[in-house]
């Protein structure tokens, strides 16, 4: 369980998150939506303890998340794929994955490699390709693969389908659901591709100006004709 209680976040005088409460149970796929600047990335950063100025309570699996101690916090099993530019472009695919799996010993790393290559056979085929020469969708796969190399229990994804063609968007979202189904990984995904994402998550949260204005089953939101009024 990831738990946020009374979360406030500021950048200088700008008050971005206003007393957010959110509990995410193990194994859930949660989609977070909202207009540009609503506070979605800030929320993910707060989950990791990657903000200097926030207050409230954040805990993962009972472990308090300490502010400004990302390195310590990810040790609880969290992996974060940031918005864009998230691979080492000058290194090969396999080197990117190896770096991401550095905290493991050789046998655990081999297991993680097998799992990532099983899920994304294209990365196995392209293991020696320089990451910067992969297509946008392939780089997204690699970024997900790198996150999985840490064998996380929760994945925090910030707009993993940004800039991708609709058919590739579907592939990336399907891969994320597959990770959830086969590994039981909890997934929190921030997305602008609302319709496509709603079909791949269990629950949806909509944030507006740093406050939660909708929290419910994704299928209910999908059916709601006034869906677009929320944005
Ligand atoms: N490092 C920062 N310093 C100052 N202001 C910031 C910083 N990061 C974000 N902000 C501001 O905080 C607000 C929320 O930003 P945030 O990145 O969380 O939005 P978002 O919902 O992720 O938007 P988008 O959909 O465009 O990615 C915005 O007004 C933004 O300008
Ligand atoms: Mg953002």
Mean pLDDT of the chain: 92
pLDDT at 228: 66
Q: Structurally, how many domains does the chain consist of? A: 1
Query: 188 vs 227, which has greater pLDDT?
Result: 188
Q: Give the residue-averaged pLDDT of 188-202.
A: 94
Domain membership of residue 154 as a residue range: 2-230
pLDDT beyond 70 at 201: yes
Closest atom, ligand 1, to C-alpha of 12? 4
Q: What residue owns the CA closest to ligand 1's atom 1?
A: 11
H-helix or E-strand spanning residue 109: helix 106-119
What's the whole-number mean pLDDT along residues 200-228?
89
Helix, strand, or coil (residue 92): strand
pLDDT beyond 80 at 124: yes
CA of 185 to the centre of ligand 1 (A): 27
Residue ranges with CB less than 5 Å from ion ligand 2 = 41
Give the confidence band of 165 by pLDDT, cuts at 50, 70, 90: confident
Residues 54-80 have a mean pLDDT of 91
> Are 156 and 79 in contact, with CB atoms under 8 Å apart?
yes
Q: What DSSP designation does 66 have? A: P
Burial of 114 (0-12, 13-18, 19+ CB in 10 A): exposed
* pLDDT-based confidence at residue 227 (cuts at 50, 70, 90): low
Question: Which atom from ligand 1 is nearest to the alpha carbon of 38?
Answer: 21
The Cα 93–Cα 132 span in angstroms is 9
Distance 57 CA to ligand 1 centre (A): 21
Virtual torsion, Cα 98, 94, 177, 210, nearest 10 deg: 60
Other CB atoms within 10 Å distance of the CB of residue 142: 25
Question: Residue 106: is its pLDDT beyond 90?
Answer: no
**CATH number for 41:** 3.40.50.300
> Residue 130 carries which DSSP code?
B
- Residues lining ligand 1, Cβ inside 6 A: 11, 14, 16, 34, 36-42
Q: Which atom of ligand 1 is nearest to the CA of 45?
A: 18
43: tokens are: 């929320």
- Provide the 3-class DSSP secondary structure of residue 37: coil
């Amino acid at each position: 369980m990831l738990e946020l209680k009374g979360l406030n976040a500021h950048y200088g005088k700008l008050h971005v998150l206003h007393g957010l409460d959110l509990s995410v149970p193990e194994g859930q796929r949660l989609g977070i939506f909202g207009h540009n600047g609503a506070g979605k990335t800030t929320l993910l950063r707060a989950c990791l303890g990657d903000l200097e100025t926030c207050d409230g309570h954040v805990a993962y699996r009972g472990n308090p998340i300490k502010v400004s101690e990302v390195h310590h916090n990810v040790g609880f099993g969290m992996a974060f794929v940031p918005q864009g530019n998230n691979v080492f472009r000058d290194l090969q695919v396999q080197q990117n994955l190896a770096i991401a799996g550095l905290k493991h010993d050789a046998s655990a790393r081999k297991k993680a490699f097998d799992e990532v290559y099983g899920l994304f056979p294209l990365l196995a085929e392209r293991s020696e390709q320089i990451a910067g020469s992969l297509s946008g969708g392939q780089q997204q796969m690699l970024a997900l693969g790198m996150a999985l190399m840490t064998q996380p229990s929760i994945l925090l994804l910030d707009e993993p389908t940004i800039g991708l063609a609709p058919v590739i968007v579907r592939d990336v979202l399907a891969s994320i659901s597959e990770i959830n189904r086969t590994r039981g990984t909890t997934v929190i995904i921030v997305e602008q591709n609302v319709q496509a994402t709603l079909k791949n998550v269990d629950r949806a949260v909509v944030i507006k100006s740093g406050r939660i204005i909708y929290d419910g089953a994704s299928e209910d939101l999908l059916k709601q004709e006034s869906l677009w009024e929320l944005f």
